[in-house]
Structure 1
């Protein structure tokens, strides 16, 4: 980096631009990607059922795609390409059933990485979930290179919900 003294003049714009480029290289860059609506799953029962993330809607600024700490997989999961701490913020729609004999009285939405699950939010009712339930939540999680991650839903054993869908969300790297 050159100083005014080294430039020999006060108005050396080219040298100043080079200095800013050098400083930019020293700074840590953040990453943020937004996702749109995913595919509705239909009738769901059981634990850890994958909720596919929707398509990427873009990044918070130009050039972020090259800094992504993960790759998106065709099935709606993603795999880490380097160690990173991520903020995962999502909105999910869950539709219950009117049947108290077959309908689940709760649904848990978790962020799953390998065999670990972190609760993002839950919805529940005293008898069974009815109509649409939407929830939002986030988690902050430190992930390692090679880990596969996903958003999953769980219901009471042998009980159902009639629909679940990823509405929107974003993933941001915490630096």
Structure 2
């Protein structure tokens, strides 16, 4: 009985120590996030640009107190309407306000930024197939900052193929993981 009490006491002490330094949060299960549709525009002439839609990709509770990193995983489906999109780089921001001078509002609901100035916002890439869900995983300091802030906006840089207006990326089965 004494051995059991000592082991339980040690387990509680480890949990308290892990919780104090934020490690306990890393042991929590992934959290489900809402599905979303990211509309695409004609990508002709957008080489070297990151296009942000004024569509909030996710609202989280905001977790500024947790000193952990985050990763987002899920499936992306390319709904094609004549385009040939195969691969995109993905960027994340907490807001589309107070942007650097390399970013411009092209039209209502759309911001374009020079890719060179967005390096710190890049969180990964997505390989796309028409009408088929393809797994993806995004991580990095921009995802972590957005989760901690509570709002995520995704930006897209076309790497292979071309998008057409009226097409979209449907993001489903999205999970938020702690790293």
Equivalent residues, number: 132
Structure 2, unmatched stretches of 5+, are 43-50, 95-117
1:34 maps onto 2:17 in alignment: no
Query: Counterparts of 2:138 and 2:168 in 1: how far apart (Å)?
Result: 23
SS at match of 2:133: strand
> What is the match of residue 159 of structure 1?
164
Query: Counterparts of 1:33 and 1:153 in 2: how far apart (Å)?
Result: 25
After superposition, the C-alpha distances for 1:93-130 in whole angstroms (9 at most, x for unaligned) are 121014xxxx4645626141346133321337xxxxxx
Deviation beyond 6 Å, 4+ runs, structure 1: none
Q: 1:171 Cα shift?
A: 1.9
SS at match of 2:35: coil
> What is the match of residue 137 of structure 1?
136
Contact 1:51 1:164 in 2 (8 A): no
Q: TM-score, normalised by structure 2?
A: 0.52
> What is the match of residue 177 of structure 2?
172
Contact 1:104 1:160 in 2 (8 A): no
> What is the match of residue 44 of structure 1?
40
Contact 1:94 1:163 in 2 (8 A): yes
> What is the match of residue 11 of structure 1?
2
> What is the match of residue 149 of structure 1?
152
Higher helix share: 2
Higher relative contact order (CA 8 A, sep 6+): 2
Alignment of 1:15-164 (within 5 A): 16-27=7-18, 28-29=23-24, 30=26, 31-35=28-32, 38-40=35-37, 44-45=40-41, 47-49=51-53, 50=55, 52-53=57-58, 72=60, 79-82=62-65, 83-98=67-82, 103=83, 105-106=85-86, 108=88, 110-114=90-94, 116-123=121-128, 131-142=130-141, 143-144=144-145, 146=149, 148-153=151-156, 159-164=164-169
Alpha carbons of 1:52 and 1:167: their partners in 2 closer, same or farther (altered >3 Å)? same
Moved more, 140-149 or 27-36: 140-149
Q: Between Structure 1 and Structure 2, whose CA radius of gyration is higher?
A: 1
